[in-house]
Amino acid sequence: MPFSHGRGIFQYNMGYLPFRKPVNTIVGKPIKVAQISKPSQEVINKYHDLYVKSLCDLFYEHREKYSEDPNVEIVIK
């Protein structure tokens, strides 16, 4: 195993630079949150659940286009 794993400047099989792979960024709809000085745990959970649902919806909407495995699942712990 080589000391470094990446591509080089003049050759592509060993070096410090990352391999050339596309980086795709997808942005969803904004979630409007009112400023609350001391939010209750219920309010925090509400917006967290909304965020997780929106994230999952965004993932499933775009997974076939950007994933190597169109059946991949999202796991949020």
What's the whole-model pTM score? 0.71
Residue 23 is given by DSSP the state: -
Q: Give 35's contacts (C-beta < 8 A, 6+ positions apart).
A: none
Q: What is the model's pLDDT at position 21?
A: 76
Digits of tens for pLDDT over the chain (77 positions)? 555 566 666 666 666 667 677 888 999 999 999 999 999 999 999 999 999 999 999 999 999 998 889 899 999 98
Beta-bridged to residue 17, according to DSSP, are 7
Give the other-Cβ count within 10 Å of 18's Cβ. 10
Radius of gyration of the chain measured on its C-alpha atoms: 20
Q: What is the model's pLDDT at position 57?
A: 96
